[in-house]
Structure 1
Amino acid sequence: MAWVSLVFAGICEMFGVLMINKLHKDRNWQSFTLLIIGFGASFLFLAYAMETLPMGTAYAIWTGIGASGGAILGMFLYGESKDWKRIFFIAMVLGAAIGLKLIS
């Protein structure tokens, strides 16, 4: 269950990052509230996962999901570069997260 919680934490982190961009464009209380909810849920799920998983593993996977997920969402939602090198390095981050899962 800790791994599922960790994945949810990463997804909430991605949502929080999207809300940072939305807040930057639309300065309103709804964007700010969604940002707080996204990151708050992310931290709650991460804290739950860290009750079972080692801190280093949980944090590395959480940041990996958030960073690569944010980059992927930026490519699809905001027209950021889809250069093969960028995709390669995102795949490396995700591969490292999967590797940590396999050895934990």
Structure 2
Amino acid sequence: MEWLSLIAAGLFETSGVMAMNRLNRDRNAKSLLLLLGAFGASFLALAYAMDSIPMSTAYAIWTGIGASGGALVGMWLYGESKDWRRVLFIVMILGAAVGLKLVG
């Protein structure tokens, strides 16, 4: 269950980055609440996951999912470059997260 919570924490982190982009465009209370809610949920899910997953592993995977998710969302929704090298490095980040799970 903690691993699902950690994945959810990373996905909420990605949602928080999307909300941050929205807040930059639309400075209003709804955008701010979305930002606070997404990052709040991310931290709560991360804290739950860290009850049984070592902090170093949990934090590395959480940031990997968040960084990869932010880059992918940027490519798919915001027209950022889809250069093969960017995709390769995203795959490497996700591969490292899976590697941490396998050796931890």
TM-score, length basis structure 2: 0.99
Letter in 2 for 1:25: R
Q: Where do 1:29-68 residues align within 5 Å? A: 29-68=29-68
The percent of aligned pairs where both chains have the same amino acid is 64
Aligned length: 104
What's 1:12 paired with? 12
Distance (whole Å) between structure 2 residues aligned to residue 99 and residue 73 of structure 1: 23
Q: In structure 2, give the amino acid aligned to 1:98.
A: V
Q: CA offset at residue 103 of structure 1?
A: 1.1
Deviation by residue 1:47-103 (Cα, 9 ceiling, x = unmatched): 000010000000000000000000000000000000000000010000000101111
In the other structure, the counterpart of 1:75 is 75
Runs of at least 5 residues in structure 2 that lack an aligned partner in the other structure: none
Q: In 2, distance between residues paired with 1:71 and 1:93?
A: 11
Residue type of the alignment partner of 1:48: Y
Structure 2 distance, partners of 1:3, 1:37, is: 21
Distance in 1 between residues matched to 2:76 and 2:11, nearest whole Å: 16
TM-score normalised according to structure 1 size:
0.99
Q: Deviations over 1:10-30 (max 9, x none)?
A: 000000000000000000100
* Distance in 2 (alpha carbons) for counterparts of 1:67 and 1:29: 26
Q: Does 1:23 align with 2:4?
A: no
Question: For 1:101 and 1:6, how far apart are their aligned partners in 2?
Answer: 11
State how far apart, in whole Å, the 1-side matches of 2:15 and 2:68 are. Answer: 12
